[in-house]
Structures are given as structure tokens and as C-alpha cells.
Structure 1
Amino acid sequence: MTTLRLGTYNLLNGGGDRFYAQAEFLGRQNLDVLCLQEAKRWDEDGHARMRAFADHLGMQALFAPSNSHRCHLVTLFRWPRVCCTSFRPDVAEGQFHHAVSRADLTVSGPEIQVLNTHLSPFSGSSRAREADWLTEYAAPGRRAVLAGELNVQGLADDERPDWDALPRHLHSRHRLQHSDGSYGGSDRLAMAKLVHAKFTDPVTALGIPVAHTAGYWNPTELWDHRSDHIRLAPGLACSLTRYEVLDTDRTRSLSDHLPVIVTLTLPQERRAACTRT
């Protein structure tokens, strides 16, 4: 058996002056695969920031341009322990607000597919449409990981107790709207589609409390909730051994989102020799 540590993290506007502290912190987490969102300006100067970040972590980087606000995606993997056999920067062919990339990786065993995405921040109906592109990866036996900022709570998460604390002009981003135009609870249709398709929630699978990943940074949206997720397709669900949200004063100072990490235990099988991507 072989252990794989996979994380997801939203950098917040490319990291800004927090960039090096983020790289230093994540470099200590012993990650094999890391999915990053909001890699703004990481494409400039020959992808200088991306290369510096990858070099600090001792990893290889795969870049996926975003369709909006330059909130690019970067997937990093630890070569040669992890090998990339193919990479598609946007498997949804421009249909996402941002993008969804797919890296086909081998880790001392069968290939796994890592989907890195950042769902629409502005509309639950948009997120639900984006989820339609993702459900196929939860087919029986499929060895896929869905990671990223999904901008939606898990079905197991607590409901927001007081919507009056959130400005009314932001309700359309987060709340379910009824046919008469009134608003109800949080809009989780996108998540419901993923769960129905059989993407596993590590929190539910391990029977552990929900840990919040966002909602502590922006004074106009102070709402501790889970927005960042790692979900496992049926072929990988039984490999899950650990789930972590790194919630400390330090991580809360580095971004408006917290790092999320899963540990998987995979069967070790013979694989073909791999080459550097």
C-alpha cells in the first residue's frame, strides 16, 4: 500500500505579499498533490510565481487559465513519486465561470484523475449547471478526486442561523430562491447533485465534525462555513484514511480560505516508467 496526501487551497488573489509565507507553510505539509485556486498573476513573466512556488515545494506545476477575473488554477504534484500521464486545462470547454482542470496521475499504482475547480461565486444556479459537468466522474469504479473551492456548503453542514447578518445584496449568491422570488435557506443544489452522483464527503465517511474553511476574513461576509471541499469518486472512497482542515491563527492570516487535506491509502501495483512533465 502507498499513502497519498492531497490538498486544496484558495490563495486569495494570487497570494499577494502572503505568497512566500503560503509557500513556506504548505511546503511543510508533506503533500503529494496540491490543487490551488485564485492563482492570479501566476501567468506573468513566464509563469514566474508558479515556478517559484513549485520550486519551493519541490513539485511540478500544471497551469489552467480561468475564464473570469484571472482566478487561474494550478495543480502541483511531487515527481517522480507522482507522475502525470495527461493534463487537460479545461475539461468543460469554457462552460465554467472559472475552469475545471483534470490531471491524470499515477501514484505507485493505478491511475487517478484529479479535478481542480473553482465553482461560480455569484449564483447557485450557475454552480448547479457546473456540477452537471462533474457528476460523470463519480461513475461506479471511477478513481477520481474532486478538489477546490466549490462555493457551496456540504449537505451535512449546519444551516446559517441568521440570514439578516448577511447583506441583502449578497443573498442571491448564497440562498435558495423560491419560484415566487422569496429566499429560503442556503442553496446547495450543486452539492446535492454531487452527492446523488456518489461523490463521497470525507466528513460523513469518517463520522467527524464539520470544520469550517471560510467566512472569517471579509467583514461584510462574516459567516463561518465550509466552502472548500475534497470529494472522492466511488473507486477511491474506500482509500480514505484521514481528513484535515488546517485552522490556526497562522492559516487564517494567510488567506480567506483554509487548507483542506485528505490522506488516501492506495494499493501498490507495478507501473510503467514515467517521464518528467
Structure 2
Amino acid sequence: LGVLPISLFYFHQFPGLFFVSNLIIVPALGVILGMGILVVFLSIFNWLPAQFVWLYNKIIGFMNNLIAWVARQESFIFGDIPFDVVQLILSFIVLVMGVQLFTRFNSKRILLCLGSVLCFQGYTIYQEINTNEKVEAMVLHKTKERIIFNRNGKELTVLTDNYNQPDYLISRYRTAERIHSVSFDTLKNGYHIKNNSLLIIDSTGVYPLSTSDKILLTQSPKINLDRLIDSIQPKEIIADGSNYKSYVDRWKITCIKNKIPFHYTGEKGSYYFK
């Protein structure tokens, strides 16, 4: 129980068989450690019987086989469990209050234990409500690829070119943000995101001669950025991980010269639309 919150926080999974396996492994560890000390002591004086070594190896082999069997039971592993640092702290408070209650049973400790449980439940419910109301969009950084997340509550739409491939960015974001459903769509040339117009220019270098609030440069388009700025007059220019670094450096200098904010995801991380 003490390790469980740490496991949920770092690995976001719950092994359903850990209670059963611990009932066997923990007592076996005591026997193995005790026999190991005896093996070392007897071997120093050359008094170690071969039968004792055979029995010791059998016990270790049995425990290793048991651990390997438990690890293969993937159907008993509950994964993708959202669990943040606040839940980690609150869960340890619940454990401490529970131990204190069973050590000495009185009304004060009952109230403290139940209060800690209510705090944990209340925070979890708050996170669920906050998740339903959260709306955000972002340009992520991924080398040689372009990917945009458009999140509405517990639904996530991934705008990308390789939407048939599993991605660790999606799985991590889905778990951390308590996303229930993920859908995929191909990238288009323009979007309206949070009252901002977004123009995406890819390797073709083709773009309409109309104003746009933000420009996303992808796949290293061969364009004259000075001319683009004069014709479209964007408020901000974004470059993702699908561009050549030499192109990004040149665009950055041009934006500084024209006094336009420039965001490269490889340097500043994901770009969030506000």
C-alpha cells in the first residue's frame, strides 16, 4: 500500500495481483536472505553441503518463476490511471491517518482519517469537473513531423499526417489530462482557434493573400518571409519540429528584424494558443 501511490504517480498503472504475489514473495524473501547468510558463512569454512545449495537454488528459482508469471498477466494490470502529485501527497496522508487510527482507535483519529479520505475524494472530483470544462489547443514538437492537439473537455482531436501510428506524446497527454476519447484528422491549411486565425504553410509554400493572426511554418517551406509578413501581417509566427534547423534560424532573424514574436517548438517547447 505504501508503494502503490508511487507506482500510480510514476507509471500510472495498478497491478491487480500484487496482493496475492506479496503474500508469497515477502515470506520467501525472509527465507532466502536467511539462507543466503548461512550459505556465505558455511562456504567460508568449506562446510557447505551440495544438497543445501541445490535447495537454495530451487527456492530462488521458484520465486523468480513466480515473479515472471505475475509479470506476464497483463489482463490484471490496470493502466493509464491519471494520478498527479497532489493525489500522491493526499494518498500518503490517508495512509498515515489510517495507520494512526488502527494503532489507537478514538474519535479524533476517526475524524482525521475520514477527513483525509474526503480531501482525496474531493480533489479527485474537482479534477474531473475541471477536465470537463478545459479547452485548449497546442502545437507540439516532434522531429520531422507536425502535430497539433485540439482538446475539448475529455475529447482530444489530434491533427497530424501520421494518424495511424501510435504516439507516446498522445498516450502521456491522454493519461495526464484524463482524456477519455481520442480522434484523428489530417491537417488543413487554416483554422480558427480561440478567436485567432491560424494559417499553416507547408513544403509547397502556397498561401492565400489574406490577413491571419498566426502563421505555422511546417515542412521547411521555401518562402520569402519578409514578403509574407508584408502581405499577411501576422501577429506571431510559429515553427514546429518538421522544419530544417537552418530555415528556423533564418526565420528567427527575420522575425526579430520585423519585431514579430517567433516561437520555435524545438527551443521553447509546445506552443499553446491563448
- Per the TM superposition, whether the score is higher than 0.5 is no
Query: Which has a greater percent of helix?
Result: 2
Q: Which has the larger radius of gyration?
A: 2
Judging by fraction of residues, say which structure has more strand: 1
- Give the TM-score normalised by structure 2: 0.29
TM-score, structure 1 as length reference: 0.29
Q: Whose RCO is larger (CA < 8 A, sep 6+)? A: 1
